Amino acid sequence: MSVPVWLPALLGFLTAVGSISIDMYLPAFPQIARELGQVRGGAQITLATFFVGLALGQLILGPLADRVGRKAPLVVGMTLYTLATIGCALSTNLVSFSVFRFLAALGGASSMVVPRAVVRDLSNGPSAARMMAQLMLVMGVSPILAPALGGFVLNWAGWRAIFWVQAVYGIINLSLVVLLLPDTLPREMRIRHGLISVFQRYVQVAKDRNFLPAALVVAFASATLFSYLGGSPLVFETGFHVSPVIYGCIFGLNGFGLIMVSQLNGRVFANRFGIDRTLTTAVLVMLGGTVYLTIVSLLGLAGLVPTLIGLFVCIASLGCIFPNGTVAVMSRQHANAGVASALTGTLQFSIGAVSGMIVGELSDVSPRAMAVCMLVSACCVTVCNRMRPRG
């Protein structure tokens, strides 16, 4: 199938559901905790709940996308996401809010697993890296703008309005899927399978020596990001006393670094140096950034500027790690693209949920807990990348 010029933009718009759902409400963590319940790490628990929903949702929706095609799971998923997000806006306590966040993630998972499978349907190798870069260009706008937008909405109308905005975004995505998205999986290539067959396919993909190390690179890189997501609101808003709007701008600056590096990766690095070499270099850069951030944090030198420098380096390096790692994961999984995408996403958000809960439990107003969790995750990325077969 030829690729319409607007398709990467549509896929990026869909993939951004996850980051918008997370990034927009980060500035509201302190307000949500005050209004819905003063449980230690309460707001971070709702983030971890969202990650669990994303993990479980991708396990379900991956095989479904290989069975019924790419479009139907997105329609169902976006419908559930929109309704559950409205439930978040109407919640009156932390328990109901967490349940609705879980359901929203369960539906929103479709916007992550299906676009990756569509990319694999249409391209491979450097061309897939370029298409992933196009997706990240569109979805990269969300971490740049979403936190600042969330801060403005928070100041203007309170934290509930953030979820009404997200519900509107869900309706827009649902409409775009119904009206525009082609199904890139032909009927003759769809796999009819029962529960036992689904389990066997997961085992088959997991046993592939090329899959698991690459998938763990992406998963632990995500854990580095999720440690930052879970820890940074408290560090900046309480520790450094910045306003929600300024925090959103700081978050957007790091998102800008990620998206710029991802574009350089798609246009220059992956073509000139190859996917493997570029990925390995980016992993070492991230490791160096987390080592620096941890040292200055433990020595009590982590003021606002040193913390920003360390975080910028770490987050920007993900602009190479995510697209190249995803290509490495999916390159040999054509027949099982949906399952491979789902299993990768499940690993990402399962490990992310754990890292988010750990940061929530250990966080004080300093960057120490966030920095240490990021360093541990970066070390795991480095080890898994060394184990990854090349070529």
Tens of pLDDT along 275-318? 888 999 999 999 999 999 999 998 888 789 999 999 999 999 99
CA quadruple 83, 84, 85, 90: dihedral sign: positive
**Angle subtended by helix axes 304-330 and 275-298, to nearest 10:** 150
Find out whether 346 and 364 touch, Cβ atoms under 8 Å.
Answer: no
Q: Is residue 1 predicted with pLDDT exceeding 60?
A: no
> Between vectors from CA 256 to CA 323 and to CA 372, what angle results, nearest 5°?
75
CA atoms within 13 A on the CB side of 2: 2
Between 86 and 271, the higher pLDDT residue = 86
Between 13 and 294, the higher pLDDT residue = 294
Q: Which segment of 25-29, 83-87, 136-140, 264-268 scores lowest on mean pLDDT?
A: 136-140
Q: Which two tokens stand for residue 378?
A: 């970066």
Q: What is the pLDDT of residue 44?
A: 73
CA quadruple 191, 193, 196, 199: dihedral sign: positive
Distance separating alpha carbons of residues 362 and 365, to the nearest angstrom: 10
Between 156 and 1, the higher pLDDT residue = 156
> Between vectors from CA 229 to CA 366 and to CA 48, what angle results, nearest 5°?
110
Per residue in 155-173, is it b (16+ CB within 10 Å) or e — as a string? eeeebbbbbbbbbebbeeb
Q: Which segment of 130-139, 158-167, 380-389 scores lowest on mean pLDDT?
A: 130-139
Find out whether 105 and 77 touch, Cβ atoms under 8 Å.
Answer: no
6, 29, 16, 71: which is closest to 248 by C-alpha?
29
Q: What is the pLDDT of residue 127?
A: 65
Q: Which two tokens stand for residue 50?
A: 């969202």
Distance separating alpha carbons of residues 358 and 323, to the nearest angstrom: 27
CA quadruple 281, 282, 284, 288: dihedral sign: positive
Report for 23-27, 215-219, 252-256: range of highest mean pLDDT: 215-219
Q: Which segment of 32-41, 93-102, 167-176 scores lowest on mean pLDDT?
A: 32-41
315, 360, 343: which is closest to 49 by C-alpha?
360
